[in-house]
Amino acid sequence: MTIVIISIILILGIILFAILSKKFSLKVDEKIDRYIRNAKYDKAISIIKEQLQKTLSTQEQSTLHYKLGVCYENNGNYAYSIVEYKTALLDSDTEHKKDIHLALGNTLLKLDKKEEALAQYLILLEQQVIDEELYLNIAKIYYKTANYDLSLQYLKRLEKIASKMTSKGKKTPQDEPALSEKMFHCRPRYTAH
């Protein structure tokens, strides 16, 4: 009887610990996301590095490496951000895969590594991703490499996407200056969940 009671208490303790750990983890993620939204990248980096020292699932590690890449990129540490984005991509099931490829391509483009950036963008095209920033950046690369015909093709695709957005009542870069900045300056985007 005593063993049964001790076993039940132990099981309840384990369940309670698991619940509290999950709650704590959500609070930490929310804190990181808040720091990123408020451009407090150094604080976010510190917390992310602490979290990466813990035993986490591959998915959680991937998400943290992606967020770390965003922080480094926004701080201008492009080499570090590239390493973090590539590390995040090691998890083939990451929920941020599209955003990571796009951010990695954008960072490589900022460093004028056009071929490597294009490789990241082409991966997204193979996955049939339709994104304004993607088509714009591909057009920029082809323009910078004097491949004007391909540049024009991607600008036309971008125009189609923009017209579809307008017909569906969605905002276009002309409607919202923040979208124009996103498209023309290729800032990394991170949306907190």
For 23-57, what is each residue's pLDDT tens digit? 445 588 899 999 999 999 999 999 999 999 988 88
Average pLDDT over residues 122-131: 90
Note the pLDDT of residue 170: 60
| Res. 184: pLDDT tops 70 | no
| Residue 179's pLDDT band (cuts 50, 70, 90) | very low
Q: How many CB atoms lie within 10 A of CB 188?
A: 22
Report H helices in 38-131.
Answer: 41-52, 58-74, 78-88, 97-110, 114-126
Domains of the chain: 39-95 (1.25.40.10), 97-193 (1.25.40)
Look up residue 9 and give its two tokens. Answer: 């208490």
62 neighbors 94 (Cβ within 8 angstroms): yes
pTM tops 0.75: no
Q: How far is CA 113 from CA 35, 87, 153, 163, in A?
A: 29, 19, 21, 30
101 phi and psi angles, rounded to 5 deg: -60, -40
Q: Return the percentage of the chain with pLDDT > 90, whole number.
A: 55
CA dihedral 157, 163, 168, 174 (to 10 degrees): 110
